[in-house]
Amino acid sequence: MLMLKVVIKEIAEKGKWRGSYTYGYRRIMPLLEKAGYHMAEATLRRLMNELGVQPAMYNRRKNNHYSSYKGTVGKVADNLLNQTFDATSPFTVLHTDVSQVRLGDSTWAYMSVILDQATKEVLAASVSQSSNKLLIMDTLSQLEDNLPNNFNPIIHSDQGWHYQLDYYREKIDSLGLIQSMSRKGNCLDNAPMESFFHLFKVESQPEIKKCKNISQFTQFFNKYVNWYNNDRISNKTKNMSPVDYRTHVLAA
């Protein structure tokens, strides 16, 4: 039992981000099995609790859910995905959204992100004090730099006002992207983005409050995205990081 606890602790330590444990029992279990340890989920959860390596929880209500929906202010695209999140090839289906967090100085920071559905890799991420056109266009500019040639993926968003307007639609059209939108008020239609922002807030909440201005938060968020892309493993990507999984899939 002592050796088992040592192995659990070692695995959990590899998943720490800024001093916080991020690996839940679902991610630790297959790594234990790979190391030759087999047990019930309840046993693993108990041992993780005894070791103090349980990941933090996040209060969604306390931190407020951001919505950029302002009704129909432009063109609403069809929902091409219909909650079908089964893309297996990189750069075929992308998701995008904006979320917010409250900083240590009580101001808000807004994050705009574009995520690859198949690999969970963040392909573009931008931060601003305002959820405005510049935030969205900067994110698309990053995507333009990171998206390989000869790919024409679907890009799915909610019905936020940014995504309905001409400047957004014209930009994604120039990049060869195919627009798709969630149904009104249905966050599950864009579940991969909801999942990413939830993970970020769970894994970073103690550090977010330490950011006293937008500059500090931008540096912190960029470091998180780099860690998430290159180091954070997931059972959804065969216990690889998003970048490693993308490399693995493209090489197959």
Of the candidates 102, 128, 98, 100, the one whose C-alpha atom is nearest the C-alpha of residue 114 is 98
pLDDT, tens digit (0-9, with 9 covering 90-100), for 228-241: 999 999 989 999 99
| Distance of alpha carbon 191 from alpha carbon 212, whole angstroms | 30
Q: 136: pLDDT confidence band, cut at 50, 70 and 90?
A: very high
Q: Does domain 62-251 have CATH number 3.30.420.10?
A: yes
Cα distances (Å, whole numbers) of residue 38 to 41, 42, 146, 200 = 9, 12, 41, 30
Name which of 69-83, 93-107, 141-155 the model is least confident about. Answer: 69-83
pLDDT at 13: 86
Q: Where are the domains of the chain?
A: 2-55, 62-251
Of the candidates 177, 180, 209, 207, the one whose C-alpha atom is nearest the C-alpha of residue 192 is 180
The answer to pTM > 0.85 is no
pLDDT at 80: 98
Of the candidates 222, 220, 240, the one whose C-alpha atom is nearest the C-alpha of residue 231 is 240
| Greatest CA separation for the chain | 61
Q: 66: pLDDT confidence band, cut at 50, 70 and 90?
A: low
| Distance of alpha carbon 77 from alpha carbon 85, whole angstroms | 18
pLDDT > 60? residue 63 = no
Strand partners, 114: 96, 124
pLDDT at 172: 98
